[in-house]
Structure 1
Amino acid sequence: MRGSRTTPQAHDFPSVTAPRLGCVRELDEAVATCRACPRLVAWREEAARVKRRAFRDWEYWARPVPGFGPPDAPLAIIGLAPAAHGGNRTGRIFTGDPSGDVLYAALYDLGLASRPVAAHRDDGMKLYGVRITVPVHCAPPDNRPTTAERDTCRPWLARELELLRPTLRAIVVLGGFAWQALLPALTATGWRVSRPRPAFGHGARAQLTDARSERVLHLIGGYHPSQRNVSTRTLTPAMLRDVLHRGADIAGVAVCRPPA
């Protein structure tokens, strides 16, 4: 199985490794080797062994799932973590699970993705001016990473944001977990966060200032496109398209099809 490894790894692997990486490609490669959180390693590999009946013929990725999208994107989207039988199976974030179906359909509707459905990492999907990433790169049990796991994974997110910094103008943050995880990562990379810290909500807006250049980074909150949120209509496709459109507009990314 591709994801199975027996070599132990130090808990500080992300914090030691991430700052040394010079480009997004190197970061993505390093993220995929991480084994710093024993509970997450065990869970992602167990999911790959047990599988779901619909995916019994799949060879699961079963490793940390890196971000996806161009390394010079003006707009970032931050989610939560890979799904055990979604990104953990396909090797690409928000790919092969219901949340991803909703997100990529919305991106396609706005002309920010080349395809409306993300099936696997070799399906030819391209993103335009957008990079998607997460604060926790391994699939967690019950979709609930611990605070310790979030904090262990934070150096990957902080370094990714630092590498995106020259072009990054706006971030759409999907869910309260991502919002709370993102703010310390931004602080670590030199963005000034207002006090009191901005609160999460769908449509929430916040502005952070670069301590070095006074450049502004815009945050836009949005509910996560989880099955529960979508099935209860806490989040509708139109609501998701709206926050993505706002982010693209602020970031200066051309939207080919306005939200309905």
Structure 2
Amino acid sequence: MTGCRTNCARQTVGHAMTTYLQPDRDCQLCPRLVDFRRANQAKFPDFYNGPVRPFGPIDARLLVVGLAPGLKGANATGRPFTGDYAGDLLYDTLKKFGFAKGTYAKRPDDGLELIDCRITNAVKCVPPENKPTGPEANTCRPFLISEFGAMKNLSAILCLGQVAHQAMLRTFGLKLSSLKFGHGASHQMENGITLFDSYHCSRYNTQTYRLTPEMFENVFADIRAHLDR
């Protein structure tokens, strides 16, 4: 992607009038994802069915990064990690560590508020079989880079899964071999941001005990300790 053409929306952030780029509601940049969106609009007309924008304050110090919206989760509701099991575990844990308040009721209008935390995805549109391609991730990357630039207080990034971890390394222009993914690992980057890794909070990972609630909470305990220094 060499430019945003007509497929980017520019938003105003805060009092400093800082702008960052996010895809249009009907972004056309990735043909395969557009075709999948059209099919879902016909099959699930009540779903949001569009690029899912970030959730949470732009001045947050913590950014949680997933891979892409889930078909019957964020793609249905229009809010990251909302409507499926991954959101149940994520938002419960965020509340436990003071990064959220209110009631999570799997709806974007449930009144849930994030505190010092923002949530986004490396790819904004739901992909077939939850597997975006490399070119699709590359096309979406300028939106993520622009968001980092707008988050002036950013101190910690939590990558949910290895693919999100790799997307972050590419976003920062780093080689994939430079920082190895590992659940519970943390990496201090030259820009002063600390990258934290966790297995994705999917139902599959928890049902197979690859990730337990305790393991997930341990990662957030490390993040909280980092931010409270």
**TM-score, scaled relative to structure 2:** 0.88
Asked if structure 2 preserves the Cα contact closer than 8 Å seen for 1:31 and 1:65, the reply is no
CA distance in 2 between counterparts of 1:243 and 1:204 reads 8
Amino acid at match of 1:232: T
Flag the structure with higher helix content: 1
CA distance in 2 between counterparts of 1:41 and 1:241 reads 36
Asked if structure 2 preserves the Cα contact closer than 8 Å seen for 1:18 and 1:159, the reply is no
Whether 2:92 is the aligned partner of 1:105: answer: yes
Q: CA deviation at 1:48?
A: 3.4
Partner of 2:108: 121
Runs of 4+ off more than 3 Å: 11-33, 193-196
Whether 2:124 is the aligned partner of 1:137: answer: yes
Flag the structure with higher strand content: 2
Gaps of 5+ in 2: none
Whether 2:63 is the aligned partner of 1:73: answer: no
Matches within 5 A, 1:1-260: 12=2, 14=4, 23=13, 27=20, 30-51=23-44, 59-115=46-102, 117-164=104-151, 166-187=152-173, 193=174, 196-210=177-191, 216-252=192-228
Q: Give secondary structure in 2 for the equivalent of 1:240.
A: helix
Q: CA deviation at 1:104?
A: 0.8
Deviations 1:86-126 (A, max 9, x none): 11110101000111111111112222111453412111110
CA distance in 1 between counterparts of 2:184 and 2:7 reads 35
Q: CA deviation at 1:14?
A: 4.0
CA distance in 1 between counterparts of 2:80 and 2:73 reads 8
Q: Size of the alignment, in residue pairs?
A: 226
Note closer, same or farther for the CA distance 1:246–1:16 as it changes in structure 2 (3 Å cut): farther
Q: CA deviation at 1:23?
A: 3.4
Q: Give secondary structure in 2 for the equivalent of 1:221.
A: strand
Q: Give secondary structure in 2 for the equivalent of 1:171.
A: strand
CA RMSD of aligned residues (A): 2.6
**TM-score, scaled relative to structure 1:** 0.78
CA distance in 2 between counterparts of 1:82 and 1:177 reads 14
CA distance in 1 between counterparts of 2:5 and 2:178 reads 24
Asked if structure 1 preserves the Cα contact closer than 8 Å seen for 2:73 and 2:82, the reply is yes
Identity of aligned residues (%): 37
Q: Give secondary structure in 1 for the equivalent of 2:138.
A: helix
